[in-house]
Amino acid sequence: MSQQTVSRNGAKDVRVIIVEDYKLTRVGLRYALNEIENINVVAEAQNAEVGLELIKKEQPDVVLMDLGLPGINGLEATAKIKGISPNTKVIILTSHDREEEVIASLGSGASGYCLKDIDPITLSGVIKNVAKGACWIDSNVAHLALKFFPKPESIEIMNSSHNIDSKAKLTERENEVLKLLVQGKSNTQIAQELIVSVHTAKAHVCSILQKLCVDDRVQAAVKAIKEGIVSV
């Protein structure tokens, strides 16, 4: 494990690992961030498999994680990080701004969500703040994240026995499907993961929506995360 370094201003460096499949983006980030005081990019990886090994070895303060990685995607990798480096914070750095990705990323354990057009100086500030325990969400997608928080008039409904019993109503297989749904997987990906037909995966999703009394996959994911129906 690498030792924590201290910059000339006396503050400890925030140790960062970049997981990004595009070499130009990865190298550009490394050079830009290493020019900023108290930021130290200690390693980089072109895919999640390599990235997870580096994270396990280096135990960095922060990981910059792309979502669209080959093989294990960024959501799956983010969920795995807590098991191998519990104190490491993850910032999703992506061009994806869809509601499903934002919700699934936060559900997988990310502490930050940045779009790739972010200014390097701003990104360095995000990295430092997240390393200290803060959460940060790009203003362009922040309105999507607000859907995690209940409105005042919905608190009583969320605390009702109907919602408390939601987990008990799902079968073991439906809980498996819901966990994959929270990770942002499509019906096809769920089918491949569980080795079932796409038709069967779709049927499980429809049953989950009905049992959780929600209208779509995003609402199901939000409810699962809010109420602890599944752990990620």
pLDDT at 55: 97
Which architecture, in CATH terms, is 14-146?
Answer: 3-Layer(aba) Sandwich (3.40)
- Give tens-digit pLDDT for 125-144: 999 999 998 888 887 777 66
CATH 3.40.50.720 fits 150-226, yes or no: no
Three-state SS for 20? coil
pLDDT of residue 148: 53
For position 162, what pLDDT does the model report? 41
State if pTM tops 0.85.
no
First to last CA, the chain: 26
Tokens of 132: 């200290």
Residues lower than pLDDT 70 in the chain: 1-10, 143-168, 231-232
The side-by-side arrangement of strands in the sheet containing 136-137 is 39-45, 14-19, 62-65, 89-94, 112-115, 136-137
The pLDDT assigned to 7 comes to 52
Assess whether the region 14-146 and the region 150-226 belong to the same CATH fold: yes
Per-residue tokens: 107: 């559900």
Q: What is the pLDDT of residue 166?
A: 45
CB 9, CB 100: distance < 8 Å: no
Map residue 187 onto helix, strand or coil.
helix
Q: Cβ distance 196 to 209 under 8 Å?
A: no
Domain ranges of the chain: 14-146, 150-226
